Amino acid sequence: MEKEINILKSFVEGNIDTKTFEKELYENENLKKILDDNNINTMYSRRHSSPYYYLLELNYNDIRGKLKAQGAIESFLNNKEIKFIKNNEFIDEYNLILDAQPKYLDVDTKFIQKYILPSDKNKPKKELKEHMKLKFKEYFKYQSKPPQWIQNPEWIIKNDVPLFFLGQKEIKDCKIFHDDGAVYIFVDEKTGEIETITQLY
Structural domain of residue 97, as residue ranges? 89-139
Asked whether residue 48 falls in the same domain as residue 112, the answer is no
Name the amino acid, one letter, at 184: Y
34 in a structural domain: yes
Rounded to 5 degrees, φ, ψ at 153 are -55, 140
Give CA–CA dist 70/91, Å, rounded. 10
Asked whether residue 38 falls in the same domain as residue 68, the answer is yes
Residue 149 in any domain: the answer is no
Q: Are 182 and 170 in contact (CB under 8 A)?
A: yes
Indicate if 13 and 73 belong to the same structural domain: yes
Q: Is residue 166 part of a domain?
A: yes
Q: Is residue 146 part of a domain?
A: no
Backbone φ and ψ of 168, nearest 5°: -135, 150
User: Based on the domain organization, do 165 and 101 belong to the same domain?
Assistant: no
Cβ pair 4, 55 in contact under 8 A: no
Whole-number pLDDT of residue 44:
52
Picking from 188, 13, 117, 80, the residue whose alpha carbon sits closest to that of residue 196 is 188
pLDDT of amino acid 37? 67
DSSP codes joined into one string, 58-99: S-TTSHHHHHHHHHHHHHHHHHTT-------HHHHHHHHHHH
What pLDDT sits at residue 51?
Answer: 85
Kindly state whether residue 177 falls inside one of the protein's structural domains: yes
SS3 182: strand
Are 69 and 131 contained in the same domain? no
Which of 58, 94, 92, 50 lies closest to 75 in space, CA to CA? Answer: 50
DSSP 122: T
Distance separating alpha carbons of residues 180 and 161, to the nearest angstrom: 30
Do 108 and 134 lie in one domain? The reply is: yes
Q: Look at residue 178 in the predicted model and tell me its pLDDT.
A: 83
**29, 52, 79 - which closes a domain:** 79
- Is there a domain that residue 150 lies in? no
Q: Would residue 125 count as lying in a domain?
A: yes
pTM of the model: 0.79
98 to 93, 101, 148: CA distances (angstroms): 9, 5, 18
Number of compact structural domains in the chain: 3
For residue 139, the one-letter residue type is Y
At 130, give phi and psi (nearest 5°): -65, -40
pLDDT tens sequence for the chain (201 residues) = 899 999 999 999 999 999 999 999 999 999 998 888 655 555 554 565 678 888 999 999 889 999 999 999 998 899 889 999 999 999 999 999 999 999 999 999 889 989 999 988 788 899 999 999 999 999 999 999 999 999 999 999 999 999 999 999 999 988 888 889 999 999 999 999 999 999 999
The answer to whether residue 64 is domain-embedded is: yes
